[in-house]
Amino acid sequence: MNERNPDIPGWLSPAAAVAGALAEGEPVLALESTVIAHGLPRPRNLEVALELEERTRLVGCTPATIAVIGGKPTVGLDRAQLAAIATGGVAKLSTRELPLARARRIDGATTVAATARLAAECGIRVFATGGIGGVHRGLPPDVSADLLELRESALVVTCAGAKSILDLPATRELLESLGVLVLGWRTDRFPAFYTSDSGIGVDARVESAEEVAEIWRAHRELERPGAILLCVPIPEEHSLDPALVEGAIEGAMRTALSRGVTGKALTPFLLNALADSTSGATLEANVALLRNNVDVGARVAVKIAESDGR
């Protein structure tokens, strides 16, 4: 049991502002830390992390960036902790590595899967990220733990679909097999991260944060397990040419193969390679979609908190 909030497990270390907001039924938005440590270059990563937290506050929502600090799963980093994660050299932690990080008292950035798990354990209802992991292209088969965690953790995950470097049809199919409800924010199409339309459908289109809150409420009333995936297309003015993106991905994949880059090192490698080959265009698109996802996620968190309070 947590002294600040008896509903939060004692092994979690929430910031006072986060614990207080949750205890009062106020909106909280979870944010991941892997994008800070491994997804964006320094010093841009810390600037973006601070900006995303401020955008969350402007909507009337408490930000909770999540990471592991000294072995403690920490929900709501302070500025010094954000800066430490942004400095680099910290571990990349999915759910399976959380016990190792705790036992060895290390610092680590949490992936979508680990962030979702820790946020849900705290009772946070909404988590905003860039793009989820999924089924990687090619062989041998490589499936992100993000997808499996979406089946387990009860919250709304706001994202720009799955990362373009993945096999999107296979990822979408697996989401369906896992029973994850996929909503499109003002779209009928599953977004493709850097572009707004993968050509693949979603389960249902939603037009407002109020509508998402209603679906979430029904999800919980029916005691459905797992998450709802809310897919928000990248703003049109920041969407990249699909042919440009696909060409850059194919080149990056060939380079990764030639260098033997695999496992959890693959995604950061590919994202960096894409930024280099597109003269930073994919980096700017990534930042734009992060801002957009956080704006939508914070509004959804506010509406869910209002609905829970009725």
Q: Which of residues 76, 105, 124 is at a domain's end?
A: 124
- Regarding whether 259 and 148 lie in a shared domain, the answer is yes
Q: Kindly report the CATH number assigned to the domain that includes residue 46.
A: 3.40.1790.10
Active site residue 3: no
29 contacts 155 by C-beta, under 8 angstroms:
no
User: One of 92, 149, 163, 303 is an active-site residue; which one?
Assistant: 163
- Regarding whether 180 and 56 lie in a shared domain, the answer is no
pLDDT of residue 299 exceeding 50, the answer is yes
pLDDT for residue 1:
44
pLDDT digits (tens, 9 = 90+) for 250-263: 888 888 888 888 77
- Regarding whether 103 and 34 lie in a shared domain, the answer is yes
User: One of 32, 53, 97, 149 is an active-site residue; which one?
Assistant: 32
Active site residue 92: no
Quick one: average pLDDT of 69-95? 94
Q: Which of residues 124, 150, 181 is at a domain's end?
A: 124
- Regarding whether 117 and 211 lie in a shared domain, the answer is no
Q: Calculate what percentage of the chain has a pLDDT beyond 90.
A: 75
- Regarding whether 160 and 119 lie in a shared domain, the answer is no
- Regarding whether 161 and 46 lie in a shared domain, the answer is no
Q: Which of residues 124, 145, 176 is at a domain's end?
A: 124
pLDDT digits (tens, 9 = 90+) for 255-286: 888 888 877 777 778 878 888 888 888 899 99
List the single range of 27-31, 200-204, 268-272 with lowest mean pLDDT.
268-272
The number of distinct structural domains making up the chain is 2
- Regarding whether 174 and 120 lie in a shared domain, the answer is no
List the single range of 199-213, 240-254, 286-300 with lowest mean pLDDT.
240-254
What is the crossing angle of helices 44-58 and 79-86, to 10°?
Answer: 140
- Regarding whether 140 and 284 lie in a shared domain, the answer is yes
Structural domain harbouring 181 = 132-310
